[in-house]
Chains A and B, each alone.
Chain A
């Protein structure tokens, strides 16, 4: 019997039903079938592991034997630290080996597959993310620039100043025309002789 953690390979908890084991096996077999990716050793390796796990867990007798081995902590170094598992091991025997920190978790087959898919998507994802962020920055820069006014401030200032001066000049001229102009007394002209005769 191999030292692999078959439950983790199938991505299942230990106390799972036979039906769930079959279901997980079928699903993973389809995903990792070597014919889907001929020549890819990654899929071949995982396919072998999945078949091996199902050969043990799919048979009630071999699964019972495997579970018994599981209970004796013979595979503990290959498992995720489960609640109480390491505590019980530490209290049972105070050996240096069991005091060692729990090992790093090994990804299950399903997790491996997802990570592989994610890794394949990363270059395109980063490129599109970069393009999106650049477009966002450009848009914000354009938006930040205020829309140009129909007339500039300087033009409005000069225009208003000149108009004000013109109005002031007109007012001054009209006042000057009425107050400062020399008073002319208009006397009636004498009646001409020819008019008198008539």
Chain B
């Protein structure tokens, strides 16, 4: 008889514990879904703002330089002869720029910096710009 009471007491205890903690867990779940909704709203707003500028810019590039160039800019693909302004749109600002001393119109744009084992800053991609257009590029292995 005592054993039966003990079991009933344990089960009742578990039930009460479950009911008491249920609200806490429910709150945690609600917080999670609220956070997800907020992140989703932020993403939608950022996408809307970005597209407001991206669409006319792509249209401008497409009209003047053709659909292929516009597609390259969008997919972050560079090509020889690409104007440096379009390279900026595609890859963003370079981490470092160096200017050739002998040729005024020659520049080297460095992208994707990393630290070498010797604790020096190096760059994975170097793009040479001649007369405001992409001339060559080099990837570091």
Q: Could you tell me which A residues sit within 8 Å of B by CB distance?
A: 104-105, 107, 110-111, 114-115, 117-119, 121-122, 124-126, 128-129, 131-132, 134-136, 138-139, 142-143, 145, 147-152, 155, 159, 162-163, 166-167, 169-170, 173
| Bound-complex Cα distance A86 to B139 (A) | 32
Considering only residues 19-73 of chain B, those with a C-beta below 8 Å from chain A are 21-22, 25-26, 28-29, 32-33, 35-36, 39-40, 42-43, 45-47, 49-50, 52-54, 57, 60-61, 63-65
A-B pairs, 6 with minimum CB distance = A166-B7, A135-B46, A132-B50, A114-B64, A139-B39, A132-B46
* Contact pick for A145, options B14, B32, B42, CB 8 Å: B32
**Can you show 21 pairs from A to B with CB atoms below 8 A apart?**
A104-B130, A104-B133, A107-B83, A111-B65, A118-B86, A125-B53, A125-B57, A128-B46, A128-B54, A131-B49, A138-B42, A139-B43, A145-B32, A147-B33, A148-B28, A152-B25, A159-B14, A159-B18, A166-B6, A166-B7, A169-B3
* Contact pick for B49, options A110, A128, A138, A170, CB 8 Å: A128
Residues B11 and A148 in contact, CB atoms below 8 Å apart = no
- Residues of A close to B81: CB separation below 8 A: 105
- B97 interface hit (Cβ, 8 Å): no
Interface residues of B, dominant DSSP:
helix
Instruction: Tell me the minimal C-beta distance from B134 to chain A in angstroms.
Output: 11
Q: Could you tell me which B residues sit within 8 Å of A by CB distance?
A: 3-4, 6-7, 10-11, 14, 18, 21-22, 25-26, 28-29, 32-33, 35-36, 39-40, 42-43, 45-47, 49-50, 52-54, 57, 60-61, 63-65, 81, 83, 85-86, 88-89, 92-93, 130-133
Residues B32 and A155 in contact, CB atoms below 8 Å apart = no
| Bound-complex Cα distance A128 to B3 (A) | 69
Residues B21 and A139 in contact, CB atoms below 8 Å apart = no
- Residues of B close to A143: CB separation below 8 A: 36, 39
Residues A151 and B18 in contact, CB atoms below 8 Å apart = yes
Residues B49 and A122 in contact, CB atoms below 8 Å apart = no
- Residues of B close to A110: CB separation below 8 A: 64
If A122-B88, A143-B39, A147-B33 are given as contacts, then 12 extra A-B residue pairs at C-beta distance below 8 Å, sorted by A number, are: A118-B57, A118-B60, A118-B61, A126-B93, A132-B47, A134-B46, A138-B42, A151-B21, A159-B18, A162-B10, A166-B7, A169-B7
